[in-house]
Amino acid sequence: MRDRSHLRVSCRASPSLALVKYWGKRDEGLNIPATPSLAVGLGGLETSTFVAASPDSADHVSIDGRTQESARFAPFFDALRSRLDSPLRFQVESHNSFPTGAGFASSSSGFAALTLAASRLVTELENRPPLEPPLLSELARHGSASAARAVYGGFTVLEAGAHCAEAFLPADHWPELRIVAAIVFRGEKSHSSRSAMAATRETSPYYDRWLADAPLLYARAKAALIGRDLEELGQTMRLSYSRMHASALAAEPPLLYWLPASVALLRACAELRERGVGAWETMDAGPQVKVICLENDLAVVRAGLTAAVPGIELISAIPASPPQTLVIEGGPESP
């Protein structure tokens, strides 16, 4: 074993935006998804994570300078240690270049970066080869199912019932694709995805219909993505998020993530389409709106969104490259 105080690992990963949504679990403890999802990494948005050996016998995690409750991370660290047969405890510092916990899938990039960095620290210290992507994806899933997708770049899939996600197409499959993320609200969302999924499963009369329908949308969206058919992909995406939100809205109590500005942005996309501009929106477990379009239309799409909600903050993303992991040698004080 190498000197653990002289090694750190950093990783940068982008959040995974679902074009077809994962919403619901087959196994709550293990984060096994009940629906298949198809996603693109949001290149330009990023979680940066640094991992070192813990100075004591506990794991420590801070995100954007705020110490995190250990309960959220314990199942993940326990799974990682068990799978790698390592007793190592971790000291983690993580920063997001976008709002945390607000529907930008920060848990996907966060747990992906943490998985890549923490597992690499273990394998470096023990002079073992780095883990293969499917195992990294499986480990990331213990943190968040969407993180299983974010260990890859480009376009990814996570099948219903799967233990790990798979790379589907590389980022350069569709270099002209753009994703505009509109920051409707910067605060944290009112209910976590996890509790909202559980509430939907337990109380929404539409949950079973959502589960039955999701594979059809998934197959349709994959074909559209292979064919780079923006209109077909956009229509399928729209059905996926609408049906996900409809099932959540029918829960007791109802789960409503949308704010007035969210609705104004959805209407702005509809108006853009009426003008012949391909602008197709999606929403996750929060009020933010993400719009896919082609590079040529980026300026007009941004202008349309801004006209609908003056002052709205927009971030333009491209299909993400794979996460970058870096092993840093040197003393604990070195950058």
H/E segment holding residue 14: none
Which CB, 303 or 315, lies closer to ligand 2P0? Answer: 315
Residue closest to 10 by CA, chosen among 54, 63, 47, 62: 47
In the list 59, 281, 284, 297, the residue contacting ligand 2P0 (rule: CB under 6 A) is 284
Site string for ligand 2P0, 97-116 (x = CB under 6 A): --------x-xx--------
Which CB, 7 or 157, lies closer to ligand 2P0? Answer: 157
Q: Give the C-alpha separation, 318 to 288, whole Å.
A: 17
In the list 22, 73, 76, 210, the residue contacting ligand 2P0 (rule: CB under 6 A) is 22
Angle at 275 between CA 272 and CA 278, to 5 degrees: 55
Minimum separation from the CB atom of position 22 to ligand 2P0 (A)? 3
Minimum separation from the CB atom of position 208 to ligand 2P0 (A)? 18
Determine contact, residues 310/304, Cβ cutoff 8 Å. Answer: no
In the list 8, 12, 21, 243, the residue contacting ligand 2P0 (rule: CB under 6 A) is 21
Minimum separation from the CB atom of position 139 to ligand 2P0 (A)? 13
* Interactions with ligand 2P0, residue window 166-195 (CB under 6 A): 193-194
* Interactions with ligand 2P0, residue window 190-219 (CB under 6 A): 193-194
Minimum separation from the CB atom of position 192 to ligand 2P0 (A)? 7
* Interactions with ligand 2P0, residue window 32-51 (CB under 6 A): 37
Q: What is the SS3 assignment for 213?
A: helix
Tracing tokens 């799967």 back to the chain, one arrives at 162
Minimum separation from the CB atom of position 143 to ligand 2P0 (A)? 7
Task: Please state the separation of Cα 133 from the chain's center in Å.
Answer: 17
Q: Give the C-alpha separation, 13 to 96, whole Å.
A: 10
Minimum separation from the CB atom of position 193 to ligand 2P0 (A)? 3
Query: DSSP 3-state helix, strand, coil percentages of the chain (rounded to 5)?
Result: 40, 25, 35
Determine contact, residues 145/158, Cβ cutoff 8 Å. Answer: yes
Tracing tokens 């059809």 back to the chain, one arrives at 216
Give whole-number Cα distances, 63 to 5, 60, 107, 182, 329, in Å: 22, 10, 11, 22, 23
User: Which of the 8 DSSP states describes residue 5?
Assistant: G
In the list 144, 156, 288, 316, the residue contacting ligand 2P0 (rule: CB under 6 A) is 144
Minimum separation from the CB atom of position 255 to ligand 2P0 (A)? 11
Q: What is the SS3 assignment for 132?
A: coil
In 10 A of CB 47, how many CB atoms? 29
Which CB, 103 or 278, lies closer to ligand 2P0? Answer: 103
In the list 10, 137, 146, 325, the residue contacting ligand 2P0 (rule: CB under 6 A) is 146
Interface with ligand 2P0, residue 73, by CB under 6 A: no
Task: Please state the separation of Cα 199 from the chain's center in Å.
Answer: 21
Minimum separation from the CB atom of position 32 to ligand 2P0 (A)? 9
**Contacting positions for ligand 2P0 (CB under 6 A):** 18, 21-23, 31, 37, 105, 107-108, 144-146, 193-194, 284-285
